Amino acid sequence: MPRLRFAPSPTGFLHIGSARTYVFNWLYARRHRGAMILRIDDTDVDRNTQASLESIFEGLRWLELEWDELYHQSQRLHLHRQLAQALLERGVAYRDFTPPSAQPEEKAHGAGPWLFNPGMRELSREESDRRAAAGEPFVLRFRVPRDPPRILRFRDLVYGEQEKSTADIEDFALLRSDGTPTYHLASCTDDIDMKITHIVRGQDHLTNTFKHILIFEAAGAPLPEFAHLPLLVAPDGSKLSKRRHGAVVSVTTYRDAGFLPHAFVNFLCLLGWSPKDNREVMTRQELIEAFSFEGINRSNAVVNFREDDPFDPKAVWLNAQHLRTMPVRELAPYVRRTLEQAGVPIPYDEERFLTVIDVIRTRYSMLTDFVTRGRAYFSEDYPITPEAQQKLDEPGARQLLHELADRLEASPEFTEASVERDLRQLAAERGVKAGLIINAARAILTGQTVGPSAFTVFVTLGRERVLERLRRA
RNA sequence: GGCGCUAUCGUCUAAGGGUUAGGACGGAGCCCUCUCAAGGCUCAAAUACGGGUUCGAAUCCCGUUAGCGCUACCA
């Protein structure tokens, strides 16, 4: 059974790129009936924050992609140290007593890459033990094979055959001088211990993978499959960052803007992945069934936002598609929650509520549209736009609306057909175009000049509210 | 600097030796129409550049350029 993991470090809010990584992991896990593991990689105590941790859970819960197991790396430090100790004992790791941050600028223009600190690889075990026992601080480094170097290879599920010489890999740190594990050590230790079968992560880890292979080998553990994902970038090709690009990179921004979690997931999937059959609007189940690493492409994907419009037009379009086509019964709870949060009343029983949603959702693209553009369908307290005001101010319009109210009240029925008949008859008798009354009616009934068919609006609102509003005109 | 990855319409992508290089979003237009959407139809829009291999290259190879990643006691 496949075991996948998503391992965010709680050093910032949940990033849209991280969310996509989670989605791909989840999709593969579900597709192959595997386990989805959420592991909080909180080994960098200086940068971890509680707010960030909460943002991750909040964001992931909103996506509605549940995980099966949860771990905190900080509670597993003993395992990391255990492996570090074993590697030291076996001689594949060594202590480096060089003080930190000696020459930061020398590296910048240096001719070759830094590989290790001189003298430290050759320290005898006795001297190393003695200095450590004396309390001298050290970092534990991996002794990367050098004489002769080795060619490391693996087959990435997305990027294909990869190889790199150990001559180009520095003796990376395993343990910091305060004894805490670095990312490489902690991550590999846990991946081994949790029996992770597929490591699916950002392409920024592609070259790190060689270090990880070294650790896996040294630990005597079988290699998992690796699949690296192209990165999400800003329109100028730079990587997405909160500082430069603001709220667009945070998943809570999409939630607050009225995206359906499901549509957002759909959008994320389309960034760097394709089912290759031209399908785009897909349900969760369709995504699960269609997902495979072969469909992932290898170049970075641009999230197409702008200063004045923070959302990728395709994301908005996808949201509209889902909003309009998903079973109305599934949509209703989201609409209800959105209205409740905005303090808008819902004067309907469940069935009527569904009908109203079904009528108005055909022109909406965001959940928030229900509280803004759809306000008049729920509340008596709705604004009249200037355009709508104009329709009402047409000569004779108000008088006609009042007359219409009387006729509708007297009419034996109140259906789309009957309302249309009554209205058109009134227009004919008064010698005006039906459009005049229709547009004025929509204006007073909804506060807007745009929306569903006016006759549908009449019936949707119900006779009582219609009469009251027409007479108020 | 070293090592690695990538390059198809503005954006997301399909085509992986033979297609008028396909679809979608966005844009323009037409139809429909009580408005606005939706829907239908149409248009504009791409293989980074230079070499090679081949009867034939977006596709394979080399180079250039550009972007990105790694090169930390961050992850």
**Burial class (CB within 10 angstroms; exposed 0-12, middle 13-18, buried 19+) of A463:** middle
Give yes or no for a contact between A321 and A281, defined as CB atoms under 8 angstroms apart: yes
Q: Which nucleotides of B are covered by protein (CB under 7 A)?
A: 1-8, 10-16, 22-26, 34-38, 67-75
The CATH classification number of A78-175 equals 3.90.800.10
Closest CA to B74 C1' — which residue?
A: A44
Give yes or no for a contact between A319 and A259, defined as CB atoms under 8 angstroms apart: yes
Protein CA A269 to sugar C1' B56 (Å):
36
Q: Which nucleotide is nearest to A448 (CA to C1')?
A: B35
CB atoms within 10 A of CB A267: 25
The confidence score (pLDDT) of residue A111 equals 66
Q: Mean pLDDT of successive 10-residue segments in chain A (473 residues)?
A: 95 92 97 97 86 93 97 95 96 93 52 86 94 95 93 94 93 95 96 97 96 97 96 89 83 95 96 94 96 95 88 95 95 97 94 95 94 94 92 91 94 93 92 91 94 93 94 88
Which ranges of A395-433 would DSSP assign to H, the alpha helix?
A: 397-410, 416-430
Closest CA to B14 C1' — which residue?
A: A276
CA–CA distance from A68 to each of A4, A29, A201, A287, A310 (Å)?
10, 10, 18, 19, 33
Side chain identity at residue A134, one-letter code: A
The confidence score (pLDDT) of residue A105 equals 46
Task: State the catalytic residues of A.
Answer: 242
Can you name the CATH fold of A1-67+230-326? Rossmann fold (3.40.50)
Give yes or no for a contact between A80 and A86, defined as CB atoms under 8 angstroms apart: no
Q: Which nucleotide is nearest to A46 (CA to C1')?
A: B74
Protein CA A277 to sugar C1' B54 (Å):
31
Protein CA A274 to sugar C1' B13 (Å):
7
In which residue are the tokens 């391992």 written? A7
Q: Which nucleotide is nearest to A294 (CA to C1')?
A: B16
Tally of residues, chain A? 473
In which residue are the tokens 């209703």 written? A332
Beta bridge partners of A227: A200
Closest CA to B36 C1' — which residue?
A: A450
The b/e string for A146-176 (b: 16+ C-beta within 10 A; e otherwise) is eeeeeebebebbbbeebebebeebebbbbbb
How far apart are the C-alpha atoms of A194 and A72, rounded to whole Å? 12
Q: Which nucleotide is nearest to A235 (CA to C1')?
A: B11
Protein CA A296 to sugar C1' B15 (Å):
15
Residues of chain A with CATH 1.10.10.350: 328-472
How far apart are the C-alpha atoms of A33 and A68, rounded to whole Å? 11
Protein CA A397 to sugar C1' B45 (Å):
47
Residues of chain A with CATH 3.90.800.10: 78-175
- On whether ipTM exceeds 0.85, the answer is yes
Closest CA to B15 C1' — which residue?
A: A276
The confidence score (pLDDT) of residue A38 equals 97
Handedness of CA A346, A350, A352, A355 (dihedral sign): positive
CA–CA distance from A217 to each of A189, A214, A221 (Å)?
12, 5, 6
How far apart are the C-alpha atoms of A116 and A141, rounded to whole Å? 9
- Element (H or E) spanning A229, and its range? strand A225-229
Q: Sheet harboring A198-202: ordered strands across?
A: A69-72, A35-40, A3-6, A198-202, A225-229, A151-156, A160-165
How far apart are the C-alpha atoms of A76 and A88, rounded to whole Å? 19
Protein CA A170 to sugar C1' B62 (Å):
30
Q: Which nucleotide is nearest to A438 (CA to C1')?
A: B34
Protein CA A302 to sugar C1' B9 (Å):
15
Does domain A328-472 correspond to CATH entry 1.10.10.350? yes
Q: Which nucleotide is nearest to A237 (CA to C1')?
A: B67
Protein CA A97 to sugar C1' B43 (Å):
70
How far apart are the C-alpha atoms of A234 and A25, rounded to whole Å? 23
Cβ contacts of A468 within 8 Å, gap of 6 or more = none
Percentages helix, strand, coil for chain A (3-state, rounded to 5) are 50, 10, 40
Give yes or no for a contact between A281 and A322, defined as CB atoms under 8 angstroms apart: yes
